[in-house]
């Protein structure tokens, strides 16, 4: 603690901290900007369907949308609990 | 006028429409609009500069013609005045005309159809139309960029401004006439203002390269933080007319670069203080 830490933390300039934060934020905002507006609702409805059959948490589903020059890809990721088949 | 040259043919019109935008307020949009409009006009191109900030007009003040406003943009849209009546001819340059925003009317009076009609009429007579956008992403800002061919994205080397600029880039790419008609997209340029090479060097300010890395935009120019900008607005003189000031010179370079001249970037690096400069402070930085 103390003096050594002070020198260690002050090594990163505030400008480079700003750049780091901006790069992460801007990348995130750009991906969500290019997503179709129906995506959040689609995610909710798919979750509801899955929950009819399997007990999964609300955050067990993730949707990733990617677009390049000639294709759009919708990636759907569902994390199933280990014992999900037992109830059926 | 010949209609045989490059991009003007495409839209069957002469004028090139430039929007000066930023998203964030207070970064230098109006200062920039006034400077580049004056710069283009001084180069001999007939130029109109329009204030889109209905209810909060300030371009008239920065241009020094606030006492000559009779009719405004909304009057023209509503057919209460002709363009000829509303346009204010600049007293320093006879190629430059100012169309002030309305100070009293409701923002709703600004319609896409009305703005489109005014721009079309101006296009018959002018070579460049500079649209000074209000801050934010509401109607005025949207309409200022909707018809644009080129966008000058005014950004300060500061987190909030860079983020808002990126947001504007998204809107420029999707919600413009060019985007809606599947035309060639609006050409976007970065204009970094309030730049302090000294603070960049000491690591307290984002550098030109940092901002370019994040926004990936063509750099049109860097305007150094300069006292002359406040002095210029105090007196209602576009800062580009101050040939002594670093900001004025930087804006001159911007105009030349936009017109296709090859001008190396200046005012990006900290001034090296030689013995000579230490004794006689150079004028460029003193003003």
How high is the ipTM of this complex?
A: 0.81
Contact across the interface for A15 and B203, Cβ inside 8 Å:
yes
DSSP labels for chain B? ----SGGGTTTT-S-EEEEEE-SSSSSSHHHHHHHHHHHHHHTT--EEEEE--TTS--HHHHHT-GGG--S-HHHHHTTSS-HHHHPEEPSS-TTEEEEPPPSSS-GGG--HHHHHHHHHHHHTT-SEEEEEPPSSSSHHHHHHHHT-SEEEEEE-SSHHHHHHHHHHHHHHHHSSHHHHTT-SPPEEEEEEEEE-HHHHHTTSS--HHHHHHHH--EEEEEEEP-HHHHHHHHHT--GGG-TTSHHHHHHHHHHHHHTT------S-SPPP--HHHHHS--HHHH-
Residues of chain B in contact with residue A28, where contact means CB-CB under 8 angstroms, are none
B interface test, pick of A19, A21, A35 with most B CB neighbours within 10 Å: A19
Order of strands, edge to edge, in the sheet holding B96-99? Answer: B88-89, B96-99, B47-51, B128-132, B16-21, B150-155, B187-195, B218-224
Residues of chain B in contact with residue A32, where contact means CB-CB under 8 angstroms, are none
Residues of chain A in contact with residue B210, where contact means CB-CB under 8 angstroms, are 15, 18-19
Residue B227, pLDDT above cutoff 90: yes
By DSSP bridging, strand B96-99 and strand B88-89 are antiparallel
**Structural contact between residues B152 and B36, judged by C-beta atoms closer than 8 angstroms:** yes
Chain B nearest-CA residue for A18: B159
Residues of chain A in contact with residue B170, where contact means CB-CB under 8 angstroms, are 29-30, 33
Per-residue pLDDT, averaged over B206-227, amounts to: 96
Q: What percent of chain B has pLDDT over 90?
A: 85
Closest approach of chain B CAs to the CA of A17, in angstroms? 9
DSSP A54: S
A24–chain B Cβ distance below 8 A for any pair: no
pLDDT in tens, A19-63: 999 999 999 888 877 777 788 888 889 888 988 888 888 888 888
Contact across the interface for A26 and B213, Cβ inside 8 Å:
no
Residues of chain B in contact with residue A33, where contact means CB-CB under 8 angstroms, are 170
Per-residue pLDDT, averaged over B247-262, amounts to: 97
A3–chain B Cβ distance below 8 A for any pair: no
A interface test, pick of B165, B173, B196, B203 with most A CB neighbours within 10 Å: B203
Take residue B72 and report the two structure tokens written for it: 């405004």
pTM of the model: 0.82
pLDDT in tens, B12-71: 557 999 999 999 999 999 999 999 999 999 999 999 999 999 999 999 999 999 999 999
Which runs of consecutive H residues, i.e. helices, occur in chain A? 3-9, 14-33, 39-53
Q: What is the pLDDT of residue A75?
A: 86
């Amino acid at each position: 603690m103390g003096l050594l830490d002070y020198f260690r933390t002050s090594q990163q300039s505030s400008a480079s901290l700003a750049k780091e934060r901006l790069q992460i934020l801007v990348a995130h905002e750009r991906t969500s900007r290019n997503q179709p507006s129906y995506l959040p609702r689609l995610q909710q409805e798919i979750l509801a369907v899955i929950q009819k059959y399997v007990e999964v948490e609300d955050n067990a589903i993730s949707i990733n949308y990617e677009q390049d020059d000639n294709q759009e890809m919708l990636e759907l990721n569902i994390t199933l609990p280990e014992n999900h088949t037992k109830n059926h | 006028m010949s209609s045989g040259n490059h991009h003007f043919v495409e839209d069957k019109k002469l004028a090139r429409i430039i929007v000066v935008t930023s998203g964030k307020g207070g970064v230098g949009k109006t200062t920039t609009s006034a400077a580049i409009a004056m710069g283009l006009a001084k180069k001999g191109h007939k130029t109109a500069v329009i204030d889109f900030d209905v209810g909060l007009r300030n371009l008239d003040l920065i241009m020094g013609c606030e006492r000559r406003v009779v009719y405004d943009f909304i009057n023209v849209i509503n057919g209460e005045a002709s363009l000829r009546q509303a346009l204010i001819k600049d007293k320093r340059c006879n190629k430059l005309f100012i169309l002030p925003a309305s100070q009293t009317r409701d923002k709703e009076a600004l319609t896409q159809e009305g703005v489109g009609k005014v721009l079309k009429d101006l296009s018959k007579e002018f070579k460049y139309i500079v649209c000074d956008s209000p801050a934010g992403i509401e109607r005025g800002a949207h309409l200022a960029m909707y018809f644009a061919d080129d966008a000058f994205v005014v950004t300060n080397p500061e987190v909030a401004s860079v983020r808002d600029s990126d947001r504007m880039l998204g809107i420029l790419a999707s919600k413009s006439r060019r985007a809606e008609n599947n035309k060639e997209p609006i050409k976007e340029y970065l204009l970094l203002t309030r730049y302090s090479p000294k603070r960049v060097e000491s690591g307290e300010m984002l550098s030109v390269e940092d901002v370019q890395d994040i926004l990936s935009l063509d750099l049109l120019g860097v305007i150094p933080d300069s006292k002359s900008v406040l002095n210029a607005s105090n007196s209602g003189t576009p800062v580009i007319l101050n040939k002594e000031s670093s900001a004025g010179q930087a804006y001159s370079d911007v105009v030349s670069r936009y017109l296709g001249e090859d001008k190396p970037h200046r005012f990006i690096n900290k001034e090296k203080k030689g013995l000579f400069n230490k004794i006689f402070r150079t004028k460029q930085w003193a003003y």
